Amino acid sequence: MSLLNQEYSEKTLREIFDYYDYSKNGYIDAMDLKELFEHTDITDKEIHDMLDEVDKNGDRKISFEEFCHLLDNPVEQNDQEKKNNNNGNGGNDFQNVDKGIQNENNDNNI
């Protein structure tokens, strides 16, 4: 099941966010993303590019609000923002995040 482009309650989004906040500091940072993608062929550059794309305030961390945008949660994002985030094929550049999450879930059987 894909996490992208689905509606979630704020509680569910928070649970997902907290799960991937491996360092438990209230943010998802480059180290958390590296851990998420450790079993994939995603490069450090791609991880930093993903972080740059989602990190709206430039603090090099993904806040809960930015995470909601990452998942294109319709509750958190308006139509114009979705258009701006599309990469021309109806998706966004975070298809790799979704794959990493799916791989992690398969590894952990959750």
- Give residue 71's pLDDT: 72
Residue 80 has pLDDT above 60, yes or no: no
- Give residue 4's pLDDT: 54
Residue 29 has pLDDT above 70, yes or no: yes
Q: Is residue 70 within 8 Å of 61, Cβ to Cβ?
A: no
Mean pLDDT of 83-106: 52
Strands (DSSP E) found in the chain: 28-29, 61-62
Q: What percent of the chain is helix, strand and coil (3-state, nearest 5)? A: 50, 5, 45
Rounded Cα distance between 66 and 31, Å, is 17
Kindly list the domain boundaries of the chain, sorted by start residue.
Answer: 10-108
Q: Which CATH architecture has domain 10-108?
A: Orthogonal Bundle (1.10)
Backbone angles phi, psi at 107, to 5 degrees: -65, -35
Its pTM stands at 0.58
Mean pLDDT of 19-47: 92
Tell me how many helices (H) and strands (E) the chain has. Answer: 6, 2
